[in-house]
Amino acid sequence: MTMSNNTPEQKDSQNSKQRNPKTMKKKQTKLWFLIPLIIFAAVMVMLYFRLGQPTEIVTNTALERPVPAFELPLLSDTSRIMTNDNLPDEPFLMNIWGSWCPTCVIEHPFLMQLEERGVNLVGVNYKDDIGDALGYLNRGGDPFSMSIQDLSGQFALDLGLTGAPETFTVDGEGVIRQHIVGEINESNWQDRIEPCLTVLNDANDNNVSPDAIQVEEVCK
């Protein structure tokens, strides 16, 4: 009978090497299962920190240029195609929203208040199911003079969208003067948005272009 010359330590080492591939596969499998959980947790953290955080009013490449050209369906009647010619000829707020957007739900009651105060709001329904979007407006009320359906999301991206909800303050000549990231609320309305609209409305009432210095001061 042939006797093995391997010591107990060598045998343990060999057995360990034989087991390693299986152990590695189990570890890899566990890692693959963890990846979706990590992604989900990251998304939840992003949503948490976005909700209720101070709204930012930013200066970017979207400002001081006309609303990008578009041909998009009217949300309430998708057989009708809206273009820039259908936009108001007075200052207005263009609000990007979706029924799937938690912060939009938080913002919506205040948009209804603005509509009651006479603020002209144009909605851009962003990457939404039309049935869900119409149901959302039926339940919460419709603050918009019109909503256009941006199913692909390209128009919102052309505007400079970083994430819904966002709002663009547009003057009577169709030029974007302010970009509000996050929800509109009473605080930022009084501090920033209303003063900007006031300057733009005064210029529109006098049939002149808004004063650049004033716009820079109050619409920043």
Q: Please give the pLDDT value at position 53.
A: 42
Do 41 and 67 reside in the same domain of the chain? no
In a domain, 149, yes or no: yes
Do 43 and 63 reside in the same domain of the chain? no
In a domain, 32, yes or no: yes
In a domain, 2, yes or no: no
Q: Looking at the predicted structure, is the pLDDT value of residue 202 above 60? A: yes
Contact 85, 195 (CB under 8 A): no
| Residue span of the structural domain in which 79 resides | 56-218
In a domain, 174, yes or no: yes
Do 138 and 99 reside in the same domain of the chain? yes
47-65: pLDDT as tens digits: 444 444 444 444 445 678 9
112-147: pLDDT as tens digits: 999 999 999 999 999 999 999 999 999 999 999 999
Distance of CA 172 to the CA centre of its chain: 24
Do 119 and 33 reside in the same domain of the chain? no
Q: Are strands 77-83 and 121-126 parallel, antiparallel or unpaired?
A: unpaired
Do 84 and 134 reside in the same domain of the chain? yes
Q: Is 206 helix (H, G, I), strand (E, B) or coil?
A: coil
Q: Looking at the predicted structure, is the pLDDT value of residue 103 above 70? A: yes
Do 117 and 186 reside in the same domain of the chain? yes
The domain that contains 170 carries what CATH number? 3.40.30.10
Counted domains in the chain: 2
In a domain, 64, yes or no: yes
Q: Please give the pLDDT value at position 51.
A: 42
Supply the mean pLDDT for the chain.
Answer: 83
Q: Please give the pLDDT value at position 45.
A: 44
